[in-house]
């Protein structure tokens, strides 16, 4: 990121993404539904995409590896605004879910899709990964 204004914008986006994710989960917990939308309150005490994990410490190893990867990518030069956005999306989604797992012991999923039940944090992570896959760094 080039200047303090860019950093502030991305920091605000990070907090907004976490707020959207946590507020939507709180809404579903309190109301049990999403109104007219197809959703279902599901306590996910497994790993990403409901995969089973042998030991709870695996969540924390995942968090440390993810944070290290994000920091490593963030320090690389020649990043586009979209690549910076991808870091914000991935980090906000991952930290929102990890924080929730630490507080509740599980992650609230509620958005039904063909392959399972997800939450906004999951979509943020997926969007960030897709941006990283398709966006090319700038050349200087």
Supply the residues annotated as catalytic.
Answer: 109, 122
Q: Which phi and psi angles does 55 have, rounded to 5°?
A: -140, 140
- Half-sphere exposure at residue 28, Cβ-oriented, CA atoms within 13 angstroms: 24
| 136 to 76, 133, 139: CA distances (angstroms) | 13, 8, 9
């Amino acid at each position: 990121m080039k200047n303090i204004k860019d950093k502030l914008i991305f920091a605000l986006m990070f907090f907004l993404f976490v707020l959207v994710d946590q507020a939507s989960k709180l809404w579903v917990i309190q109301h049990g539904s999403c109104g007219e939308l197809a959703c279902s309150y599901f306590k996910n005490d497994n790993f990403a995409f409901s995969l089973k994990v042998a030991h709870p410490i695996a969540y924390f190893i995942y968090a440390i590896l993810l944070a290290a990867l994000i920091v490593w990518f963030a320090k690389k030069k020649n990043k586009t605004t979209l690549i910076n956005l991808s870091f914000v999306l991935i980090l906000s989604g991952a930290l929102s879910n990890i924080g929730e797992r630490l507080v509740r012991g599980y992650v609230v999923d509620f958005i039904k899709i063909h392959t399972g039940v997800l939450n906004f944090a999951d979509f943020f992570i997926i969007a960030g990964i897709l941006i990283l896959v398709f966006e090319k760094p700038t050349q200087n």
